[in-house]
Structure formats: C-alpha cells, structure tokens
Amino acid sequence: MGKGISRRALGALAVGGAASATLSGCDRVGPTEATIKSRRFPNDFVWGVATAAFQTEGSPTADGRGPTIWDTFEKQPGRIKDGSNADVATDSYRRYAEDIDLIAGAGLKAFRFSIAWSRVLPTGAGSVNAAGLDHYDRLVDACLAKGITPYATLFHWDLPQALQDKGGWSARDTANSFADYAATVAARLGDRLKHIITLNEPAVHTVFGHVLGEHAPGLKDIALLGPTTHHMNLGQGLAIQALRAAKGDLRIGTTQALQPCRPAGGPLAFWNRPASDGLDALWNKAWLDPLLKGTYPAAMGDFLKGHLRDGDLEIIRQPIDFLGVNYYAPAYVKLDLASPSQIAVGAPPKGAELDAFGRQIDPSGLAEVLERVRRDYGNPPVLITENGCSDPFGDGPGVIDDGFRVQYLRRHLEAVKSAMEAGSRIGGYFAWTLIDNWEWDIGYTSKFGLVAMDRATGVRTPKASYGWFKQVATTGLLPAT
C-alpha cells in the first residue's frame, strides 16, 4: 500500500458501523477499566446532554425550512434500515419546552443541540428565514430561563439540499456559505448563545456520506475524500473567523469523532499496521492536525491535490476555546489480501463486549484518545460532547430498566476522570442522548436515549439511566458500581 493509503483501499472501508458486529476477531480482549484516585468531579464540571436537529426536530417544512440532504436520502428506497423517515422524530421542534424540562429535571446545566442550517437559510445561502431563527431564539431563551447553558452545533450533517445541488462540501464555495451562515447565527443569537460548536463529526459525514454511500448525500466516490475533508476544515476556519468578528466573547469549539485505530489481531499484527495507520490519518489526524498544528498528515497528500491552496492552512488553524470529543468505540482495521483493496474492517478482540449497535464497549479507547489529545496536540481544553450506547435493536419501546447504559456511562466517566487526573483539561461531559431518536440509516430501531418515547403519542418516559445521571450530575460523585 505504500507509505500512505491508496484511493482504491479506501473504497472498501467501513468503520464504526453496525456491520462490524458480525466479524470475528483473532486477538484477546485486554483490560478496559480505568484506575482513578477520586470519584469526585470538580464543582464547575459541566454536565449535559447532546442532540441533533435532524434526529429530533421533525416538522421538516415548518416556518419555511428548506430541504436538506437527509430529507432527500431518507426517501430513497433501501437507504434506511426500517424504511422510516425523520418527519416526526421526537417532535422536538414543537415539544422543545418538554425536552428542556427533562434536562432541568435531571439537574443538568448544559444542552448541546444543533441548528438546522436550512431553517436559517432555506437554500443554504442568500436570504435569511427570520421564522427559522425565531425558533432557535425561543429555544435559547427557554434554556436560559431554566438555568441551562445552550451549546449550539452549526452543522450536524443536514446540509441544505440546494448547496448539495451545487456540489455540497466538495465545492469550495460551501465553505464560504458556512461562514456566512455562522455569522448570521451569531448576529441574531450571540448576545445569549455564547457556546458554539462549528462541525459535528466531519469524518463520519465525509467517509459515510461521500465514500461509502451509507449516509446522505449517499455518494460512493473516493475522489471526494480530499475536497470534502478540506472544504469542511476550511469552512470551519472561515466560520470561526466570522463568529469572532460578529461577537468577541463567544466560546467556540469543534466536535470530532475520535477513534483509536488499532490493527486487527493486536499490536503484533504488523501486517495490518499500514491499514490502521491510514485510517488514523484520514479519520483523526486529517481534522486535528490542520486545526491544532497547521498541517495535514502526509497520507492525505494525494487526496488534497488540486484543492489545497496557499493560505488555506492559516485560515484553518484558528484558536479554539475547546475541543469537543465524541467517543463510542475503537476501530479494528486489517490488511485483506483477498480483497482487491487489500483493506477491510477487522473485528474487536475475542471476548470483547459489544453494545447493541455492534460497537465494542471499551472505555480504555476513550482514555487513549484523551491521552493523545493531551500528549500530541498541546493539551487543549476538552469537552466530551457525546458518549453513549444503544438499546438492543428493535421496533419495540425503549428499555426503561437500562442498567447496561448505567454501566456504560459509569465506566466511560471513570476513563474521563482518569484522564483528568493525568492532566487532561476536561471541562464537561454530554451524554448522547436525551430521548430515543432517529438514528440516521438505522432509523428508529436503535435507541440511545436516557428517556424513552412512545412514538404514537410522543409521551416521554425517563429510563433508569436518567435517574442515575441526575444523581451523578447533581452530586458530582461517580458511584463505584
């Protein structure tokens, strides 16, 4: 495969998806628990929940919202596992006050939601839709009225369809449109909305949406990897500049899906190392390096040809106030000589615990990415902006007595605490997610909520994990079992 990762190789790559559950591993699982000195979190530690507009809001045409790439994708036959769409989701465009009551009821002081770009600018650029902004104005005010700090993500995968029609993130101009949108949000909400997250998990959007075709916009073209990655990075840099110009006191961060990339078969499986290093380059480093170091990893070189212009890296390397880390599971990657691409998704080690999503439950992976951020990237302030696990797949109601989720959260919070004790500057933790919602290509079959919802009535029922998280957030003390 040479020193980098070949274009052909990437065509067959799939990480983090439910499919990996079916593969068999060939190494043994190691210890995954963290050791901590104290179970007490600092008094100013931020406890919150995270959600995303497309997965929760519903009301896809209300108040002049424009169509997004996910509205298009979900209606294409075969794209969504249960054939569902997000037209209702958790109905949170209309029921947001109930959601905020639930957040306040759990004693949480922070709510990470995303703003739907096409509610603000129905075609992604040009004329602003005041009614769309009014909704987020009300949402921000409702949070503040309950003592909850709003954290708004500007892009959580729901690109306005009109921009996709002009090339989406593979077109350089989308970066400029994103900055204009950011400035519009800051101008209207920035007097009260002080915490802004630019992008959510751009690696997932790039690889799953543009290379593997499993997410919107459903493209399968390895040639899109470079331009999509670069224009999202560039758009983020331009947006941070625009936000700071609009309001000088904003706290601005980005959210990245950091994933340890491990050779399948264990560290001694050196033949799998080029594949895992290649994935690490495009999945983790292609986002962290330009932002925090002003460079791209060498393995991205070929992909970026013709897209990276003089001055771009200076725009991308903007100071941030926090790095948002989303963590779910490590990736296992292998060289596969039987496959034309020579690269394939490996499996977690034998005996590894898997959640219902097929993701390995491995809190040591969270400790590992946090150590890397501390060691290799100058130890920036960090927020854990997502972490959580799914109920068993199915069409039935959510599992109310979700002890498995309590254990998942407890063990991952131990990893967070151990990283803090080792020197990481972690200021908060947002559980994914508040209410069982629409999980992209898996539809309603996967449920990550602390709260269940009856889809027929919209009635919300807190699960055991909701009460447990409330206890942790209100006492700052992590139970030992």
Instruction: Fill in the per-residue mask, 338 to 367: x = in contact with ligand IFM (CB under 6 A), - = not in contact.
Output: ------------------------------
Q: Are strands 331-336 and 342-345 parallel, antiparallel or unpaired?
A: antiparallel
Closer of 299 and 431 to ligand IFM (Cβ): 431
User: Does residue 33 carry a catalytic annotation?
Assistant: no
User: What's the DSSP call for residue 453?
Assistant: E
Strands 46-50, 110-114: pairing kind: parallel
Catalytic member of 74, 214, 368, 386: 386
Minimal distance in Å, beta carbon 168 to ligand IFM? 18
CB of 437 to ligand IFM, least distance (A): 7
Q: In 3-state terms, what secondary structure has residue 249?
A: coil
Q: Which residues contact 18 (CB under 8 A, 6 or more apart)?
A: 357, 358, 393, 442, 446
Rounded CA-CA distance 443/195 in Å is: 29
Sign of the Cα pseudo-torsion (284, 290, 292, 293, in order): positive
Site for ligand IFM contains 438 (CB under 6 A)? no
Least separation in angstroms between CB 135 and ligand IFM: 20
Q: 336 or 386: whose CB is closer to ligand IFM?
A: 386
Whether 41 contacts 72, CB under 8 Å: no
- Note whether 448 binds ligand IFM by CB under 6 A: yes
Position 178 contacts ligand IFM (CB under 6 A):
no
Closer by beta carbon to ligand IFM, 41 or else 432: 432
Q: What angle do CA 275, 288, 14 make, to 5 degrees?
A: 35
Q: Return the amino acid letter for 169.
A: W
Nearer residue to ligand IFM within complex by CB, 201 or 368: 201
Nearer to ligand IFM, 289 or 386 (CB): 386
Contact code string over 55-84 relative to ligand IFM, x by CB under 6 A: x-----------------------------
- Cα–Cα distance, 178 to 337 (Å, whole number): 41
Nearer to ligand IFM, 201 or 312 (CB): 201
Residue nearest to ligand IFM (CB): 52
Decide the pairing of beta strands 261-263 and 251-257. unpaired
Interface with ligand IFM in residues 3-22 (CB under 6 A) = none
Q: Considering 57, 201, 214, 368, which one is annotated as catalytic?
A: 201
Distance in Å, CB of 55 to ligand IFM, minimum: 6
Residues in region 255-294 near ligand IFM by CB under 6 A: none
- What DSSP designation does 398 have? -
Phi, psi for residue 134 in degrees, rounded to 5 = -55, -40
Binders of ligand IFM among residues 191 to 250 (CB under 6 A) are 201
Least Å from the CB of residue 257 to ligand IFM: 7
What is the torsion angle, in degrees rounded to the nearest 10, for the CA atoms of residue 244, residue 229, residue 207 and residue 214? 70
> Is 326 a binder of ligand IFM (CB under 6 A)?
yes
CB of 439 to ligand IFM, least distance (A): 5
Contact by Cβ (8 Å): 202, 195: no
* 386 assigned to active site: yes
Instruction: Classify each residue of 455-476 as buried b or exposed e, where b means 16 or more C-beta atoms within 10 Å of its C-beta.
Output: beebebebbbbbebbbebbeee
CA distance linking residue 216 with residue 232, whole number of Å: 15
Residue 386 found at the interface with ligand IFM (CB under 6 A)? yes
CA distances from 72 to 53, 60, 181, 224, 279 (A): 16, 11, 21, 19, 29
Size of the site for ligand IFM (CB under 6 A): 8
Our CB check for ligand IFM shows the closer of 129 and 387 to be 387
Does 52 contact ligand IFM by CB under 6 A? yes
Beta-bridged to residue 253, according to DSSP, are 197, 322
Shortest separation between residue 388's beta carbon and ligand IFM, angstroms? 7
Whole-number Å distance between alpha carbons of 304 and 296: 9
Strand partners, 453: 460
Cβ 200 to ligand IFM, closest distance in Å? 6
Residue 432 interacting with ligand IFM (CB under 6 A): yes
| CB of 280 or CB of 386, closer to ligand IFM | 386
CA–CA separation, 207 and 220 (whole Å): 9
Task: Return the residue of 57, 71, 368, 439 that touches ligand IFM, per CB under 6 A.
Answer: 439
Q: Where are the beta strands (DSSP E) in 156-269?
A: 195-200, 251-257, 261-263
86 lines the binding site for ligand IFM (CB under 6 A): no
Q: If binding is defined by CB under 6 A, does position 391 make contact with ligand IFM?
A: no
Least distance to ligand IFM, CB of residue 280, Å: 19
Interface with ligand IFM by CB under 6 A: which residues?
52, 55, 201, 326, 386, 432, 439, 448
Q: Which are the catalytic amino acids?
A: 201, 386
